[in-house]
């Protein structure tokens, strides 16, 4: 079935038809809020229990990369909103342009995430057998640490070991942090990948000129999904990257 | 209003929100670098909540949505508040399990 702007029998007006679709999308997003909410809850309890290990873990992340990615994602939300506007005002040529920009920014975000994951892998920060939070302080050359950064790192690990009562405890609890880091950012990235697929479909359809002021429900609703994924990141960024930055 | 009665948000508003979100991101990084003790997390969450509200109200058209849709949005956060709030109060009211305070058993890890 090829949906266009025609009115289906169960609705009185096109307006009501679109409103229904948007309401349905929001109900889906509410389930997504609760889905991610469970992870945020797990994070809150564990951070409350092991504040030192979470602080040490958080400072192992790259702030410049996390900050840049936040800006990229916010920009992609803007271009997504602009593609909705283009459709609503029947600027049929602009719709795919803004959608492609959104897809490019989303892909940049995922690419930076790959670089970050690789870095964590190299630094022995993947939870499991090889996990070692002290790796970078012991092998500064492998982590490109030197001078003040290295001194800060050694000091932080030392204080972490003292606060947690041993390097084994610090490693165990820092693994909790990194499990949550990979779980939460991984689930977020999975949503981005799904979003990229949806955008690809929208781009192909919008190039046929399907979306205009009369019919733009798919652009609007995939836009809602994209903005929701942006909101999740707006919370993930301070919670994962900025826990203890004043100590670093 | 477009011909079918839906509110169209102007690019000017979208651009303003974009700038506000970027300023908010910069602000949250600066705030994290100052030691505010327990208030660091409060400030970080406050900024994130303001940013989220801007996204929902303008990018997601929450401000211009029908009352019914707005009710669903608010209800979503209401359920989230129940989940977070009640679980945290339950958690805080319990005596800690021994496993939470004891040091985990030392495991010899062979490294290559």
Which of B22, B55, B60 to substitute to test the interface with A, most A CBs within 10 Å? B60
Q: For residue A88, what is the DSSP state?
A: H
pLDDT at A110: 98
Query: Is the pLDDT confidence value at A240 over 50?
Result: yes
What distance in Å separates the CA atoms of residue A76 and residue A51, rounded to the nearest whole number? 33
A245 contacts B84? CB cut-off 8 A = no
Sign (positive/negative) of CA torsion A215, A218, A221, A226?
Answer: negative
Helix (H) or strand (E) holding B107: none
Band of pLDDT at residue A146, cut at 50, 70 and 90: confident
pTM of the model: 0.91
Q: What is the pLDDT of residues A76-92, one digit of tens each?
A: 999 999 999 999 999 99
The ipTM estimated for the assembled molecules is 0.93
pLDDT at A147: 86
pLDDT at B95: 74
pLDDT at A1: 43
Give the residue from chain B lying closest to A23, CA to CA. B69
For residue A207, give the nearest of A219, A197, A217 by alpha carbon.
A219
Give the pair of three-digit tokens for residue A54.
């979470």
A and B: number of Cβ contacts within 8 A = 148
pLDDT at B4: 46
Please state the rounded mean pLDDT for residues A177-200: 98
Of A243 and A114, the structure prediction assigns the larger pLDDT to A114
The yes/no answer on whether domain A34-132+164-241 falls in CATH 3.30.1490.20 is no
Please state the rounded mean pLDDT for residues A120-127: 96
pLDDT < 50 regions, chain B? 1-4
Band of pLDDT at residue A14, cut at 50, 70 and 90: confident
């Amino acid at each position: 079935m090829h949906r266009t702007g025609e009115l289906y029998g169960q609705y009185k007006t096109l307006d009501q038809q679109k409103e229904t679709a948007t309401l349905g999308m929001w109900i889906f997003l509410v389930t997504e809020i609760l889905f991610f909410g469970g992870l945020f809850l797990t994070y809150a309890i564990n951070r409350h229990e092991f504040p030192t290990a979470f602080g040490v873990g958080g400072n192992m992340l790259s702030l410049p990369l996390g900050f840049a990615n936040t800006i990229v994602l916010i920009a992609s939300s803007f271009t997504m909103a602009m593609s909705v506007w283009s459709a609503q005002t029947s600027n049929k040529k602009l719709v795919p342009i803004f959608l492609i920009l959104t897809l490019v920014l989303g892909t940049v975000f995922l690419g930076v995430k790959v670089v970050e994951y690789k870095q964590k892998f190299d630094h022995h920060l993947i939870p499991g057998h090889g996990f070692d939070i002290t790796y970078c302080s012991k092998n500064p050359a492998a982590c490109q640490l030197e001078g003040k950064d290295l001194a800060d790192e050694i000091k932080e690990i030392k204080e972490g070991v003292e606060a947690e009562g041993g390097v084994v405890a610090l490693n165990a609890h820092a693994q909790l942090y990194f499990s949550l880091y990979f779980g939460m950012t991984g689930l977020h990235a999975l949503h981005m990948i799904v979003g990229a697929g949806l955008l690809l479909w929208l781009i192909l359809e919008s190039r046929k000129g399907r979306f205009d002021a009369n019919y733009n429900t798919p652009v609007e609703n995939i836009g809602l999904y994209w903005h929701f994924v942006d909101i999740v990141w707006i919370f993930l960024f301070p919670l994962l990257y900025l826990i203890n930055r004043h100590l670093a | 209003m477009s011909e079918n009665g839906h509110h169209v948000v102007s690019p000017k508003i979208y651009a303003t929100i974009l700038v506000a979100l970027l300023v908010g991101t910069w602000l949250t990084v600066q705030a994290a670098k100052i030691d505010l003790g327990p208030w660091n997390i409060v400030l970080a969450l406050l900024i994130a909540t303001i940013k989220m509200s801007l996204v929902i109200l303008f990018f997601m058209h929450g401000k211009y949505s029908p009352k019914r849709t707005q009710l669903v949005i608010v209800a979503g956060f209401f359920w989230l508040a129940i989940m977070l709030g009640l679980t945290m109060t339950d958690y805080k009211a319990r005596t800690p399990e021994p496993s939470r305070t004891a040091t985990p058993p030392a495991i010899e890890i062979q490294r290559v």
